[in-house]
Amino acid sequence: MNLKPVIAKNDKRARWVIGIVSFILFAGIIALDKNIIQPVYPFSFDVHDFALANSVINSGVFILLIAALWAVKQKKYVLHKKLMLSAILLSILFLISYVLHHLFAGDTKYGGEGFLRYFYYFILITHIILASVILPFILFTAYRSLSGDYQKHKKIARYTWPLWLYVSVTGVLIYWLIRPYYS
């Protein structure tokens, strides 16, 4: 492998930083869900445009993850690294948009019936569970690569990558299934 580590390896510090960041973001999302914070909407466009942006961003993450898998299979490690860092940056942008949407729009009730209703709730529940636990895995996987620990990176990426891919594609599906019920 021709990539050199870009950060110093310090597993203890990495565990703490990743744990703290993951906990703060998780707690913040829970606070949004519980409507603890209720600010006034300051924008002049439809608040649900954030949800559309989330869908577009998640689609981009999905494409980047597929491209990154292809790149690593072709042993194009520099390209793989750039694609994965781009996926992380898009995911950060998604998180900002997600927070803004839920901060100002609150919850939307799904109104579908029959099979589609069961499908929607299955996708939603699995998405929420995996989205709530994937962040530390993404951060540890990135940390392992950036610190040059490629064997551990590869080992954890075998789990992180498909879960992250699932979360990104189900996020898009959820948007398109609930979109008709935005008021």
Judge whether 3 lies within some domain.
no
- Determine the pLDDT at residue 2: 61
Judge whether 56 lies within some domain.
yes
* pLDDT by 10s per residue, the chain, length 183: 567 877 778 888 888 999 999 998 888 888 777 766 667 777 788 888 999 999 999 999 999 999 999 999 999 999 999 999 999 999 999 999 988 888 888 778 899 999 999 999 999 999 999 998 999 999 999 999 999 999 999 999 999 999 999 999 999 999 999 999 987
Judge whether 147 lies within some domain.
yes
Judge whether 25 lies within some domain.
yes
Judge whether 42 lies within some domain.
no
pTM: 0.88
Judge whether 1 lies within some domain.
no
Cα distance between residue 175 and residue 183, in whole Å: 14
Instruction: Determine contact, residues 104/47, Cβ cutoff 8 Å.
Output: yes
Judge whether 5 lies within some domain.
no
Judge whether 68 lies within some domain.
yes
Give me the domain span that covers residue 143: 11-37+47-181
What does the chain come to in residues?
Answer: 183
- Determine the pLDDT at residue 105: 82
Number of domains in the chain: 1
